[in-house]
Amino acid sequence: MDFDLLVIGAGSGGLAAAKRAARHGAKVAIIEGNRVGGTCVIRGCVPKKLLVYGSEYKETLQNAESYGWDIKNNGCNSQVLLANVRKEVDRLNQIYIKSLESAGIELITGWASFVDAHTIKIGERCVSASNILIAVGGAPTRLNIPGGELGWVSDDLFEAEQLPESILIIGAGYIACEFACILAGLGVKVTQIVRKHRLLKEFDTELVKSVETEMQELGIKLEFGCSPNSIQKQENNYYVNCTRNNSDSTASEQLSFNAMAVLQAAGRGAFLKNLQLEAAAITHEKDRIIVNEYQQTNIAHIYAVGDVTNRVNLTPVAIDEGRAVADNVFAGIKRVVNHEIIATAVFTQPEFACVGLSEDEANNRFGIENIVIYKAKFRSLQQALPAAGPRCILKLVVAKTSNQILGCHMVGNHAAEIIQMAAIAVGMGATKADFDRTMALHPSISEEFVTMV
């Protein structure tokens, strides 16, 4: 065999596995047909968060006068912002390439396909390995409707030279909501088209309603109950033709929305294109490769991690899964990744973050009579002088009998940073009494988590 481990995909999960395996003494190569860094670094978390920071300056500048600053706001030059974001992504890409060299990992450039269960073909080259890890991630999907090939997907937006004056965003998940807030903050007129009658279906209903309200106050037009039927382009405008089903009646109506651009953010799927999984007899479905708790496929020496398994599609999860594979195979450390207690953030404006069960999930699992809810809703001190801006909501979901914290949720400034720390306590089985015994850090937003009654 040419290698002890051959990794397909140089994204977060693949890089983590390759580096950990090399540290354990394995001979490792990693294959990548695009840029090293994967979705998170190249076309996802990192550039998106930079755009979030850029868009937040609109509110900062608006509030500056109330704090005594005399600032003339001439708006954002989106060309400069987008160019600087791409420059930072390029820098990170080179850092990752150099880190592979430093670790003694061979980088093979090209698209991989299986020849058999131990052999991979990249262009004209074939390489073999005792163990293979599939970490190719996911890719945006387009709507299967007439005109579904038109407009942007999220990857395309990062390559834009400048932003349009108006945009239609199709979708209700975190990608759609985050880009709606980013673009609205950068001065784009945003209409978001949503099939159902709420956003972010996997999150706490009450806090989602708060996010919806704040998004509308940003100027985002939310069109609920609208199922896209077709997309058309006429001269400089895109048209999304929809059927709206009203929640309060059985009647439906035909609508058409138009803007200078359209972003399809209605889902992602495993990037299985050209892998030829059948050549290695790997069991898979349309949108995922099936694995067990040790990330093994049905072929014992072939593993898969990250979004390609379509379990919990988050960067830190892919990283931990990749490291677990390397530990299991090359260090004899049998461990599995805990997919139960995972902190999650949606970088809307304001931020939404949580860990554990939502109120709805807890009620369904344990019964409403066995759950106690603690809440605080307020405008943060930072917003006191401008007397405007988003309100914070903090919620604890608690088991009545054991007093254990089942879920911790927050909408507000720095929600992701605060929930990250709360996740440690929730993961350790903290109770409401443990929170109550914790001295508050005043004045702060997070102190509300330990002062709720």
The rounded radius of gyration (Å) of the Cα atoms in the chain is: 24
Q: Where are the alpha helices (DSSP H) in 126-191?
A: 154-157, 174-185
CB-based contact 33:136 (threshold 8 Å): no
SS3 content of the chain, % helix, strand, coil (to 5): 35, 30, 40
Residues facing residue 168 across a β-bridge: 191, 262
Chain mean position to CA 11: 14
Whether the bond into 350 is cis, omega within 30 of 0: yes
Phi, psi of 167 (to 5 degrees): -150, 145
Annotated active-site residue in 197, 284, 409, 442:
442
442 given a catalytic annotation: yes
Integer CA distances (angstroms), 214 to 112, 170, 411, in order: 44, 19, 10
Is beta strand 106-109 parallel, antiparallel or unpaired with respect to 268-270?
unpaired
Closest CA to 388 of 60, 56, 53, 57: 60
Please name the residues in contact with 118: beta carbons below 8 A apart, sequence gap of 6 or more: 1, 128, 129, 130, 132, 301
Q: Is 359 strand, coil or helix?
A: helix
DSSP β-ladder status, 261-264 and 268-270: unpaired
CB atoms within 10 A of CB 33: 18
421 in helix, strand or coil? helix
Handedness of CA 22, 24, 25, 27 (dihedral sign): negative
User: What one-letter code names the amino acid at 425?
Assistant: A
Which is it for the CA torsion 156, 157, 162, 163, positive or negative? Answer: positive
Q: What residues act catalytically?
A: 442
